[in-house]
Amino acid sequence: MKLTGFLLSAAGWAIVVAALLLLPSAAFRVAFVLAGIGVQVLGLVLATLAHRVLDLERG
């Protein structure tokens, strides 16, 4: 879950960068950037929850 979280976060960043560098239309750019940020947030939530579980198990 931890690795998935970090991968999602990196994938979201890739979407943001690709949107800014490749898309000519401003509306598409905004939509894809926001989608990328959403993916990143999901990834960070996953990574955080994975660490919470691990840390509490470690005591």
Partner 1 sequence: MPLPSLSQSSATLCFVLILLVPLAGAGLALVNSGLGRSRSAAHMMMASLCVIGVTAVVYVAIGFSWQGVAGRPAHTLMIAGRPWNCIGAERFFLRGFPLDLSAESLIVLLQIFSLGLAAVIPLSAGSDRWRLGAACASSALLAAFIYPLFAHWVWGGGWLAQLGVNCGLGRGFVDGGGASTVQAVGGLSALSITWILGSRQGKFSTEGIPAAIPGHNAVLALMGCLIAWVGWLALNSAGALLFAGAGPSSVVLIALNTTLSAIGSGLTAAVVTRVRFGRPDASLTVNGWMGGLVASSAAAAFLKPAAAILVGMVAGFLVLSSIDLLEAGLAIDDPGGAVSVHAVAGIWGLLAVSLLSNAGSSGQWLAQVAGISTLLGFVLPLTYALNWLLNRLYPQRVNEEGERQGMDLYELGAGAYPEFVVHSDEFTQR
| List of residues contacting partner 1 (CB under 8 A) | 6, 9-14, 16-17, 20-22, 26, 29-30, 33, 36-37, 40, 43-44, 48-49, 51-52, 54-56, 58-59
CB of 37 to partner 1, least distance (A): 6
CB of 13 to partner 1, least distance (A): 2
Is the separation of the CB atoms in 50 and 8 below 8 Å? Answer: no
Is the separation of the CB atoms in 59 and 20 below 8 Å? Answer: no
CB of 48 to partner 1, least distance (A): 5
Sign (positive/negative) of CA torsion 45, 5, 34, 31?
negative
